[in-house]
């Protein structure tokens, strides 16, 4: 096992590590959160977290019980998160925009003791609980809902310090939902120590987060990538996180950059492309950024080049998983190799193996194996998948990668996405990267679908900058000219927008169904 550079004590709590520690260091007056209407210092956030913790305890939440948090990015989400951690309970953050059926499934799956919801979406969460016995109570933030307690009212007479429960470093702290592109999300049980380990190794050790940084994120905080990059990482060094509740369109993100002048932008490929291709991209001043990061989905080289040409800001692609909490292989400032994920983060170990677990040589494609002190405990209520993925110290994911002789890792797709066409293996990402080089293509996803003879053939779904007559056939010919014949898409389907998973990734399962309809 690689020697860790951070060894937390046995008694260890994330609220103490990320929040209370800044107060002890004398950073309490520094700005922690930059919000649309005001700024909050670390002392302000601490007071809010204490109030949440007091209220949750009064409402019956006990140590190790789960609390569902379904809030937009804002102070209430941050206060609730740290309040839950301070009393030793377990955080389950979810998208506040989920539908009735998804919420109802979550209630039964998580068996949450209480749900903290926002007034604007509370009705859906309350209605979804009808007839169930698994949820004790609701706590409404950001307004009022008839018949439900509100944080404003419940905390009116709350005052005083809230001691931090001395949790064990291996106690569950946060449930993260795996970000696969098909199937039902799985809850990954992560510990207090995992989050601190990656913060020390990746955020501080590789990216060099510092006190003067201001972070801004495209993905929302319920997504583990953003929880780290736009909350935990800046809080670990006394920096500031800018939060906004709106959907992150290019216009909104440009506005937030102009307002807060962040030094780190946390991005995803979809918005990378939309920002780079925006009609007013050349008028934007992104000189405040030290760098931007990209994760969540593959970043094609043409997309990276369009971003660099538009803004001149370094874009660091990397790979992380909920099972290893956050990024463990990455490009780094001053060391970017476009088309690769970069090199493994020091403190983690990575290998590429075949289906029998035999390690492969440089350039060979196989399953990614990774180990380090950020490994999760299990998938909740899924022993079969847990045993397959967690093998001793190693996490064995569904991602296919290769690594060259210099240690640079290239992403080759998901094992369940790889297609066998005409007896040969095809990695959809290769076809997607080819089509992304066409100027009319904004986004692209390739899936396999059976033809009339029952043989699997690649089908490309494309969101175009401008859909013109004959574009689908033009794109098919474009790929055929540049790829081996068996790799070119037999059909190109133009869409106005892609279906998305709960984490905003392209829903390839839905696209496959569409291709077969």
Q: What is the pLDDT of residues 396-440, one digit of tens each?
A: 988 889 999 999 999 988 777 778 787 777 888 889 989 999 999
> Looking at residue 3, what is its pLDDT?
47
pLDDT at 419: 83
Contact call for residues 407 and 344 (beta carbons, < 8 A): yes
pLDDT of residue 47: 97
pTM: 0.85
Could you tell me which of 206, 465, 189 has the C-alpha nearest to residue 335?
A: 206
User: For the chain, what is the largest distance between any 2 Cα atoms, rounded to a whole number of angstroms?
Assistant: 72
For the beta sheet containing 441-450, the strands, ordered from the edge strand earlier in sequence to the opposite edge, are 441-450, 456-464, 491-495
Say what the pLDDT of residue 184 is: 62
From the list 288, 347, 292, the residue with the least C-alpha distance to 315 is 292
Amino acid 1: pLDDT: 44
Block mean pLDDT (10 aa), the chain, length 517: 70 98 98 97 98 96 97 98 98 94 91 96 93 82 94 91 96 86 74 97 97 97 96 98 96 98 95 94 97 90 94 97 96 95 97 94 94 96 94 92 96 79 79 91 91 84 90 95 91 93 80 88
pLDDT for res 181? 44
The pairs formed by 159-164 with CB atoms below 8 angstroms and a separation of 24 or more are 160/50, 160/54, 161/50, 162/49, 162/50, 162/53, 162/54, 162/83, 162/86, 162/87, 163/86, 164/13, 164/15, 164/16, 164/20, 164/86
Tell me the three state secondary structure of residue 473.
helix
Which domains are assigned to the chain? 14-194 (3.40.50.980), 197-414 (3.40.50.12780), 419-516 (3.30.300.30)
pLDDT at 179: 57
Q: What is the pLDDT of residue 505?
A: 79
Q: Which tokens is 234 given?
A: 């800046």
pLDDT at 182: 45
Q: What is the pLDDT of residue 135?
A: 67
């Amino acid at each position: 096992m690689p020697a860790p550079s951070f060894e937390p004590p046995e008694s260890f709590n994330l609220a103490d590590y990320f929040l209370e520690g800044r107060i002890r260091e004398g950073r309490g007056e520094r700005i922690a959160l930059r919000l649309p209407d005001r700024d909050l210092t670390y002392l302000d956030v601490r007071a809010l977290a204490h109030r949440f913790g007091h209220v949750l305890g009064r409402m019956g939440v006990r140590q190790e019980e789960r609390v569902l948090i379904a809030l937009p990015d804002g102070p209430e989400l941050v206060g609730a998160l740290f309040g839950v951690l301070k009393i030793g309970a377990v955080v389950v953050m979810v998208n506040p925009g989920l539908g009735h059926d998804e919420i109802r499934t979550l209630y039964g799956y998580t068996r949450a003791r209480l749900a903290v919801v926002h007034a604007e979406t509370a009705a859906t969460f309350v209605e979804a609980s009808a007839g169930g016995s698994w949820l004790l109570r609701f706590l409404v933030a950001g307004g009022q809902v008839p018949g439900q307690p509100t944080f404003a009212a419940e905390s009116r007479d709350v005052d005083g310090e809230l001691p931090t429960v001395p949790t064990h470093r291996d106690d569950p702290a946060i449930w993260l939902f795996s970000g696969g592109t098909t199937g039902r999300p799985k809850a990954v049980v992560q510990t207090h120590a995992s989050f601190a380990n990656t913060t020390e190794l990746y955020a501080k050790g590789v990216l060099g987060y510092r006190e003067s940084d201001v972070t801004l994120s495209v993905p929302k905080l319920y997504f583990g990538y953003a929880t780290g990059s736009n909350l935990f990482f800046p809080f670990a060094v006394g920096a500031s996180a800018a939060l906004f509740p709106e959907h992150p369109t290019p216009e909104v993100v440009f506005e937030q950059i102009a307002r807060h002048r962040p030094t780190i932008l946390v991005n995803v490929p979809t918005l990378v492309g939309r920002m780079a291709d925006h009609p007013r991209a050349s008028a934007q001043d992104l000189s405040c950024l030290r760098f931007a990061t990209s994760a969540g989905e593959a970043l094609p080289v043409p997309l990276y080049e369009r971003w660099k040409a538009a803004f001149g800001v370094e874009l660091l692609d990397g790979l992380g998983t909920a099972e290893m909490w956050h990024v463990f292989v990455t490009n780094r400032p001053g060391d970017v190799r476009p088309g690769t994920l970069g090199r493994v983060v020091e403190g983690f170990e990575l290998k590429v193996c075949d289906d029998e677990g035999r390690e492969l040589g440089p350039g060979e494609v196989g399953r990614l194996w990774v180990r380090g002190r950020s490994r999760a405990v299990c998938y909740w209520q899924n022993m079969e998948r847990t045993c397959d993925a967690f093998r001793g110290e190693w996490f064995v994911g569904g991602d296919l990668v290769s690594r060259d002789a210099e240690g640079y890792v290239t992403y080759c797709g998901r094992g369940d996405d790889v297609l066998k066409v005409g007896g040969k293996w095809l990695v959809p990402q290769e076809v997607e990267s080819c089509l992304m080089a066409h100027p009319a293509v904004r986004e692209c996803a390739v899936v396999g679908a059976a033809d009339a003879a029952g043989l699997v053939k690649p089908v490309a779904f494309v969101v175009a900058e401008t859909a013109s007559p004959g574009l689908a056939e033009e794109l098919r010919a474009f790929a055929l000219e540049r790829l081996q014949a068996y790799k070119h898409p037999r059909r190109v389907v133009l869409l106005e927008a892609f279906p998305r998973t709960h984490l905003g990734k392209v829903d390839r399962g839905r696209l496959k169904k569409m291709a077969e309809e």
